[in-house]
Structure 1
């Protein structure tokens, strides 16, 4: 049963309680849809179900005279044009596809009000779900729409992927469906786990010949028809808080926090107290009718209430600015920097929203520090420093590079624009060349390293921290990594070198090349395994055929026990 509260005045900060009373009546309308696995393994079960169809209707009418039955079937991805039994290449079936279609298609004939909806899912196999279709090239996510033709055949079998369990659970909630998984013993643990993820569902063991199907359905229906659960959609309104108390029968007291009553008899009165409370952020006197529908604040794609946007279906984001049409893979793929194989969105320094990176701010408690760039790959606080000042206090740090004020230049903006190039650069160029030849065995000084760098002492440290008088130097090596060093002008020929270059999330070339070689080897190995399996299967078939032909070819020995004399005329 579904009902809505159209208007209730709730003063801010003061709870308001609504008392709701129910009585179960006999003959509540029941719609039951029987959804059956039509694979070859269920052949005997199909015959049993056909034979027991009348008995099932008779037993259910004992529970409620208002009964409506429907039947459907499913296989795997190829459409089922008739209720003929078939075999599949693999074991799992396309039951989740069928379950979604049975729930959401209006052509099935579901009534929308004052009706219990029951789907009996009968199978002896596991099922496929979201992602499995990609193995067959079906990369389009399931759209949760009805795609049945006039004859009831599923048209999108080869066009989109299987639905996920969460999609089935959402459809079950939206359409108020109760699902019974009547399955064979070998897959019962799987479906019991699934039933914990789908609201209002149970899993029961089906005998090998399905002879207990009537018992399963009637037993679970009796439990359903004697259980009352209160649910709500208050999650759509973040300013609204709901709480429950239940009185499950005469002579009982209200139990706070209880929203479920079981073993309820016909005509027994059940009471629920539903307490509504508006959060403190709502203005005084605000109630349901004053919510701003399609608010400008919410990009005209949602309602604005209590300082929060509640987005319409198909939109998401803080201000409902994003179309909720991207799947989880393609939506974040746009937030990965080209060439970055680490798999992190926004270089690990931000969040992906609507396919764009929102970079972190307030780094290490400094509200001015933030990550920058299309993929948050740089920042406004990781620039060369002099005397502890970013960009020597003569410029601003923009995406990890100094943008110097007028009259200043250099990597750290420490050079007066009027000075010549050599004095402006200080000793960074000289020290960088010596680091190249003495530590990394490369660079322009390699042939004369002992001569030109003999007086220079290089001290390797874990991290360049920087002091007030320290000048920071850096250069990019042939792998794109930043080699960082520093020196103090007062200490002659002494330079500190950070042991590990800053590669900013880039992978080393040999790692990329090694990964590509490994991938090629794996593809080749997979192809070899597939070829070997194909040859083995083919040989086995030929050998089996040979044995069958050998057994069929029986030779009969004929013995002549007397001679016949021929005479010539």
Structure 2
């Protein structure tokens, strides 16, 4: 085997050719980039000028950080620009043959944060690649006839596989379900013989049983499978996911080789998933580890069923491709499951599994003709994308996986892999592999986050107290400052920098000056009219409000963001001539309820322009001054000084004239109506009130008339009701008497003789009775 080792040496000082023709999208967003390392970490388009004396007096070293094009425009020579780029440091290729299907085998990348490093992966499908096939069968009672056919499959399966590969092995395992209620019956008799046909040979239920290691001996397959008996359980779903997990993770006990691995899952029913174990009080999540003891999964009743995602991950990690051989009633269910498990297919199994050899052969061809590149789980700050160049012309770009279908034997396809580091990181590594195949590409990643400059030597520019590194001074211990001009003493460079900040989170010298020995030296402008000043360089003389395109309307001076207007001008931008002519009405400016700005009233408290006289939205003052007016009325207009405390802000005077419809009408404490007028004077809370002593009071009620009238009314109503009752009674009596007379006239006997009276038959006379 020939191994080709290629070493690609990349210098950090190579200027990226793309940046030489920079577009508007290539922007360097630099924030506090005062060193070369900080600069190149600011973004993929940021470069650093290491040219000595590149900055002007008063300029910050952050000027050295910009795009390559901008630095050249500012006078930095191209050979003095530091701009590391992403590239390949080391690559080991391998020749594609019948055993090796993917190249390269190993690659090392040097990544500039934010810039993708690219390399190619080539894949060629080999002819006759070895295959391991594990047949996992559902042995619940409904699979009785299927088992009889599978017992004869050994040599047929091997012959079919050897027809498409140079080396094939087959193994066998079976499953039923967890051996606890409600999945299986735990009654001793039913547990011993769970089959519905009591005369049929049957074994006790079990979760998963590994029966035959992977072998190339078809007769051994027939012999071992021939010894198997059907079993049974209570519910329809089976414990197939438990069995698949053990087949995937028990690599040594199953006997998997480092070849194409196929897992054939045969069943006619559904499957239990994570969470179903709660039905049997099994609460411990599946741990995804091998627990085969004596070829039996004996911890099935301790761990819950695996989740579909967990199973898919383990199958992918162990490079196992799944063929779901299921009956027609279960095809839709397992097609949905197949969408969640990479490199899996679903085949329609006949009711007695007679077509299983053809199904497996077709499934293998479909799986092996599909190539999917995947890198597994990587850190969030690494982004890996694929461009697929397939032989059938169906290409994709920037996909999270590389994928090509219908790949023929000996056909070569290419994938471009783009790896981007989002930030500086420690050395990382990951593997790219083709799912279902054993070949992998080992990728190692390091980031270019430090500058390597060759100018580290003593310079007079550093006041002999340091040396130049990447164009700027690196001071000796005990010295600080841009040119090492400061003696540190007991203070650190950070403490000196802090003296130049207005707040802890702010930029030193507001980003408009340099902090030299703990004091801000503000930058100088090219325009002599423009100045930056202030303790922290926080002020200038041009960033003020503008009017008509001029700072402070050209009628004032800008002083740290505030316009200082010339004589005769006013306003925030000195845009107004100083005058109050338009604000005066009756000698008062804005009625004392506003400010005159730009010769126009700006009213307060809801008062309206032009002179702030009216306030439509203000509450009425009538209720407020009701107690005040009542006090004056009850004093009779005399000694009204006693009312001063409740008449604050008002001048009150009695008048004789009528108030008119606009007057306030309020009730006093005697329930009498008062009338008064309120006049609002200029200014705030300044009123005059005119009132009259006349009040409208309700007359006192006539108690005797009310009481007498009430009693008389009650008596009158009583008499009327009594007369009505008498009339009704008289009417009823007369009507009853008429009915009686009518009945009496209709009788057929003498009125004086009682028709029901009978004379006594015997009469006895008392001898002592004298007639009295």
TM range (shorter): 0.3 to 0.5
Which structure's residues are more often helix, by fraction?
1
Rg larger in structure: 2
TM-score using structure 2 length: 0.35
